[in-house]
Structure 1
Amino acid sequence: MSIYTGLVFGMAREQFLLVADHLEIEDQDRDRLLYPKRAIVVSIPLHTDDGQTQVFQGYRVQHHLTLGPTKGGTRFAPQLDVGEVAALAIWMSWKCALAGLPYGGAKGGVACDPQKLSPRELEAVSRRYMQEMIPFVGPNTDIMAPDMGTNEQVMAWFMDTYSMYKGHAISEVVTGKPVSIGGTAGRREATGRGVAHLIKLALEALKLRPSACTAIVQGFGNVGSVSAYILAREMGVKIVGLSDHTAAYYDRAGLPLDSIEQHVKGKGHLAGWSSESSVDPAHLLTLKCDILVPAATERVITAANAPHLACRILAEGANGPTTPDADQIIEERGDIFVLPDILCNSGGVIVSYFEWVQDLQRLFWTEREVNERLKDILDVTFGRVVQRAEKDRISHRLAAMTIGVEKVREGKKLRGLFP
């Protein structure tokens, strides 16, 4: 029996077993590589604005501390459970190892709907969650970051709660916080910027001109919107499709990003921008484009829609957007260049690493320096994945995960098993 259950954890486990089979890892070593070192479950009581008391469940999973402290986001989402959090922590481990960062993977969050919390309630939940986590986190143990449902302000509350407990400001306990209290320039845009840069590398590998290409971005949040803006404004790609949790739009002639941006700034979502270009959100993924960017949630590309994808590049801005069954179909098709999630969305954790290093040193870089260093790491990592895929004649996803698992496996082997 295991506490780690659910579709998302099952997906992470299935992906790992494919890597383990490829690397011929002995059965006796697999559980130690797969299962997390530590899982924390806490209750988060809240005095609501209407005078009631409500209790939420909070989680933090630390996958391994073999190579350094753990690192990972904290999400506030209604259906969050420990199995999903564990899967995300596992993927973060392979992601950090692939990028060469001295971290293990972690993930955490609270099962709540932040949209239904008042600002006071959101602050209370954030501070109580961090207070409950204080014995298990720290700059050399586990560093939190934003994720779905959290932002710079939540990270500021986390930092303040931890710092008040310790008696002095400790900015390096979280990343993704405001620049004015130790955050780094370029962190908010880092994941989306990384997605766009890796798409550029894929286009170069395929000898495609960005200005002649079209893109669909599913998920117009922080990652998706930044990716779309950079693809359009810096690379000349035509954005023909966009969606969020409220609406989806498609126009082969191209969507007006400036108009959409103004609408989202005012309303907070895409719904209501237009009725003429509206399409079924599920159908959007299978419409014709050169670049498809799923940047929302897990398990949106499945065995049902994978045969109908009409893209040349699949750039996974979200974590776990493609199921193993869909992966097999895409691999058999052989006509889609996949940028797997642990490569494609690694820009966020890479720049989080930069922020942590700057906080430790109390020496800060310019945004230009941050972006250039990010591109340098992504260039090297992209090349390693493509070369490994060609050498072993395997998919890009299997190649990326193989590199990550190999590094963690080697670290555990060298450190040994503590009695």
Structure 2
Amino acid sequence: MTESGPLDNMLAQMEDAREYVDIDDGIYERLQSPERTLSVSLPVRMDDGTVEVFEAYRCQFDSARGPYKGGIRYHPTVSQEEVSALAGWMTWKTALVDLPFGGAKGGIVCNPKELSDTEIEQLTRRYTEGIRRMIGPDTDIPAPDMNTDPRTMAWIMDTYSVYQGYAVPEVVTGKPTEIGGTDGRVEATGRGVAIITEETFEYFDTDVRNADVAIQGFGNVGSVTARLLDERGANVVAVSDVTGAIYDPDGLDVDDVLDYVAGNDGRLEGYDAGSISNDDLLTLDVDALIPAAIEDVITADVAERLEADVVVEAANGPTTFDAANVLEEREIPVVPDILANAGGVIVSYLEWVQNSQQYSWELEEVHRDLEARITSAFDETLAAYEEKQIPTLRTAAYTIALERTASAHEYRGLFP
């Protein structure tokens, strides 16, 4: 069976929800395509004196509800199709959690592990120059994503500010706190996933204490999710990264794993625990499986063998459309990415607001606002799921997002 790509998956998810939402045909057609996508070539002088040209993109999907918002990722698999799908998912995510943003995404085709810090900085600044006419604090606000971090955002902010002639901290979110970032942003996505996982357990009458959890991906999102669920009493039995997966049916010592990874160049490789394959991790008999890496890891084949009681999508688009159909047939609920991983964009919004007001908030206030917003979106999704008798949580979430975005288009009309 040939699996469809991320953009086809996203469009199919929209189509599933359409029958439950009254949307004008013309508006729905507009919602299926990005408003614009920029492709840029980035010549960078490498440390050895040679010049290498990198391909990069920025996709702005929809701005009916406000400025575009979305991360920037550095990865070899970045493509125009991928950033278009991710920008679409950002549009539905910001609408679902009711933020005054649209959706965007960007990326550079590269392997940052093969680049020096100097080369990554030059690449980042060149990319910023390439897209700077598209971005701005009132038009498009980038943020970190896969293989980018607060330092990356600092370089983008600085480059943009140099062209403007003054500091513009609100042009990006996810910055270091010293230059306008907000406490809690780095762990926000993982914190949101942990909150949603606990809410999901409660909905399905599962006690988070001693619940078995497997997490695929142990980067920023996966590691924070593991730590917070461990603190809530969950039994994190397996985690993985690009170097492999580790497993202990009695539960891993999450703090020890985190300490090991911190001293091992961010890698699980070599950790003293049972070793399993990534495929085995995805098909463990656990209370919750949390894919927290990249798109399309749960294929139809994996879905046929998956034994988790529920899937909580910490990554963007980890479940293919065909796999989602298999899981629906098998009555395995999936908490969709546009809900589960919305913590990052929620706290990005809070950072942007603080920058605009030139006033910072205490960490506890950020945590409270994040939890209030993401649990409200969870409750609204459940209400739609139950009241409209919608077959899946994903489709229920899409009905809310599509309705809010379509309503904004209807009010704004069509120019000229």
Structure 2 runs not aligned, ≥5 long:
none
Separation in 2, partners of 1:19, 1:89: 18
Residues 112-143 of structure 1 show CA distances to partners (whole Å, capped at 9, x for unaligned) of: 11111111100000001011111111000000
Q: 8 Å contact 1:71–1:107 — kept in the other structure? A: yes
Local SS of the residue matching 2:236? strand
Local SS of the residue matching 2:225? helix
The aligned counterpart of 1:54 is: 52
Local SS of the residue matching 2:289? strand
Which residue, 29, 32, 35 being the options, matches 2:30? 32
Q: 8 Å contact 2:313–2:335 — kept in the other structure? A: yes
The aligned counterpart of 1:380 is: 376
Separation in 2, partners of 1:296, 1:79: 13
Which residue, 259, 264, 275 being the options, matches 2:256? 259
Which residue, 200, 203, 208 being the options, matches 1:202? 200
Q: 8 Å contact 2:21–2:402 — kept in the other structure? A: no
The aligned counterpart of 1:339 is: 335
The aligned counterpart of 1:303 is: 300
Which residue, 361, 367, 373 being the options, matches 2:363? 367
The aligned counterpart of 2:312 is: 315
Which residue, 390, 393, 396 being the options, matches 1:396? 393
Decide which moves more: 286-295 or 12-21: 12-21
Offset of residue 207 of structure 1: 2.1
- Matches for 1:15-414 after TM superposition, within 5 Å: 15-23=13-21, 25=23, 27-233=25-231, 235-267=232-264, 268-274=266-272, 277-334=274-331, 336-394=332-390, 395-414=392-411
Separation in 2, partners of 1:27, 1:385: 24
Separation in 1, partners of 2:269, 2:312: 24
Q: 8 Å contact 2:34–2:61 — kept in the other structure? A: yes
Separation in 2, partners of 1:198, 1:258: 21
Alignment RMSD: 1.2
Q: 8 Å contact 2:381–2:396 — kept in the other structure? A: yes
Amino acid corresponding to residue 354 of structure 1 in structure 2: L
Q: 8 Å contact 2:213–2:287 — kept in the other structure? A: yes
Separation in 1, partners of 2:386, 2:127: 45
Separation in 1, partners of 2:27, 2:186: 38
The aligned counterpart of 1:3 is: none
Separation in 1, partners of 2:117, 2:195: 35
Amino acid corresponding to residue 370 of structure 1 in structure 2: V
Amino acid corresponding to residue 201 of structure 2 in structure 1: L
Q: 8 Å contact 2:7–2:81 — kept in the other structure? A: yes
Structure 1 runs not aligned, ≥5 long:
1-5
Separation in 1, partners of 2:26, 2:346: 32
How many aligned positions are there? 411
Separation in 2, partners of 1:204, 1:255: 23
Separation in 2, partners of 1:24, 1:138: 33
Q: 8 Å contact 1:202–1:337 — kept in the other structure? A: no
Amino acid corresponding to residue 32 of structure 1 in structure 2: R
Offset of residue 212 of structure 1: 2.7
Offset of residue 26 of structure 1: 5.2
The TM-score, its normalising length taken from structure 1, stands at 0.96
The TM-score, its normalising length taken from structure 2, stands at 0.97
Q: 8 Å contact 1:217–1:294 — kept in the other structure? A: yes
Separation in 1, partners of 2:11, 2:291: 21
Offset of residue 311 of structure 1: 1.5
Amino acid corresponding to residue 104 of structure 2 in structure 1: A
Local SS of the residue matching 2:338? helix
Offset of residue 23 of structure 1: 2.7
Offset of residue 22 of structure 1: 3.6
Offset of residue 206 of structure 1: 1.9
